[in-house]
Amino acid sequence: HAGPLECAPLEVADPVMIATNLGGAHRASCEQASGGYWRHLTTENTARDWEEVRRALGQERISIHGLSYGTLLGSTYATLFPQHTDKLVLDSGANPDWMWNDVLLEQNEPYKRRVVAMFDWIAANDAVYGLGDTPLKVYQRWSQRVMAESGTTPTIAPPPAKIGDVPPEWQALAQQYVDGVTLTGPLRAQIEGLFNQLRTPGAVQALSPMLGATRGLAPQTSAWPVIAESLRDGTPIGPQDPQMPELPQEAIISTNMQATVLCNENRVAPRLLDYPGFLWTQFVTGDIFDAVGLSYSSGAACAGAPPVATPVEVHNAGLATAPLLINSLADPQTPYRGALALADRMGAHVLTVEGGDHGQVAKGNAIVDDAVVEYLRTGHTGVTHAPAPPMPVAE
């Protein structure tokens, strides 16, 4: 008798609610639209729903491909029902010890590094996009776009300078120039952003569709041309795109369910020292690269919404076949060291992939896909390392 979680819209303009009762307000909005359904949304309950489906299908054992959060969900099922679990592929694994306040915080710095990698790829394809032949030049073009859309510049630190960024008049002191620009870059971005906000009342970088799309698409190399083409051609991106005028209802439901599950079974104590950082990014800079993680680590995201369940302590409870865990080294959504913690809990064979894509199966990476097929057929694979999936072709 399950169904989508419906929640009434939140009053996002209420700063007191955002600062002190965001989780409680979200629960109340879901209660208003769906009654008490929200309190039943937990990873364990979903795993038990899977078991009901297995029984209804009359299958003795099921194989699972869990992606991202699905690695925790799949591991939970395998822990509860090892006798009914056949093969278990854990694709981009999440650390059980980070559930949930730390999961988003651990993404902050990896996301920034992934954006720099994207700018580096765009710069390497300057002949196609004409946005600059160094990551810093691409960042500057990108920053201009964020400024045009939001009234202020982004506060994410710029990439390190390179020799190609040195003006002709500084060539005699090129390395000193590069070192100076790189050293002062993060502070300059913060100061410039604050100055622009003071100069333009109401300007908030978070209102930039380009900023949001950059963070959202950074984990997928196949999507990098979308950012580059939009910057080059000046075409709309995200909600401004006439072909996608509003957020699909499915995305709203998914967001509500994620927020509900994260608070329902959060077991990581808030870091009160992160609360000033949350307030700063939420109400002053609007830096979405830091605000997301700090909203959870500070406890603000689940304020007023204490946990209603304790997550299952996932472990290998006697699986007939060891799981296969696949993770890229620079994945910003499921950092590699967190994935290794899950692999250790589940006794999984680890396949490490170069690059930083989130999700590895069916990405055009023959070594990964062949290893997964071999595992599903035989229960094992000797492959432990694979190159990154093919980079997109710039057009």
| Three-class DSSP labels, the chain | CCCCCCCCCCCCCCHHHHHHCHHHHHHHHHHHHHHHHHHHCCHHHHHHHHHHHHHHHCCCCEEEEEECHHHHHHHHHHHHCHHHEEEEEEECCCCHHHCCHHHHHCCHHHHHHHHHHHHHHHHHCHHHHCCCCCHHHHHHHHHHHHHHHHCCCCCCCCCCCCHHHCCHHHHHHHHHHHHHHHHHHHHHHHHHHHHHHHHCCCCCHHHCHHHHHHHHHCCCHHHHHHHHHHHHHCCCCHHHCCCCCCCCHHHHHHHHHHHHHHHHCCCCCCCHHHHHHHHHHHHHHCCHHHHHHHHHHCCCCCCCCCCCCCCCCCCCCCCCCCCEEEEECCCCCCCHHHHHHHHHHHCCEEEEECCCCCCCCCCCCHHHHHHHHHHHHHCCCCCCEECCCCCCCCC
Q: Which amino acid is at 301?
A: A
Q: For helices 69-80 and 336-346, what crossing angle results, to 10°? A: 10
The whole-number pLDDT of residue 253 equals: 86
The whole-number pLDDT of residue 240 equals: 53
Antiparallel, parallel or unpaired: β 324-328 and 85-91: parallel
Phi then psi dihedrals of residue 304, to 5 deg: 80, 5
Q: How far apart are CA 191 and CA 185, in angstroms?
A: 10
pLDDT (tens digit, 0 to 9) for every residue of the chain, 395 residues total? Answer: 678 899 998 877 788 999 999 999 999 999 999 999 999 999 999 999 999 999 999 999 999 999 999 999 999 999 999 999 999 999 999 999 999 999 999 999 999 999 999 999 999 999 999 999 999 999 999 999 999 999 999 999 999 988 888 777 777 777 887 778 787 878 888 888 888 888 888 899 999 999 999 999 999 999 999 999 999 999 998 655 555 456 677 888 888 999 999 999 999 999 999 999 999 999 999 999 999 999 999 999 999 999 999 999 999 999 999 999 999 999 999 999 999 999 999 999 999 999 999 999 999 999 999 999 999 999 999 999 999 999 988 88
Q: How far apart are CA 281 and CA 156, in angstroms?
A: 11
The whole-number pLDDT of residue 246 equals: 63
Q: Could you give the domains of the chain? A: 15-39+247-297 (no CATH), 41-99+311-386 (3.40.50.1820), 104-240 (no CATH)
Phi then psi dihedrals of residue 215, to 5 deg: -65, -40
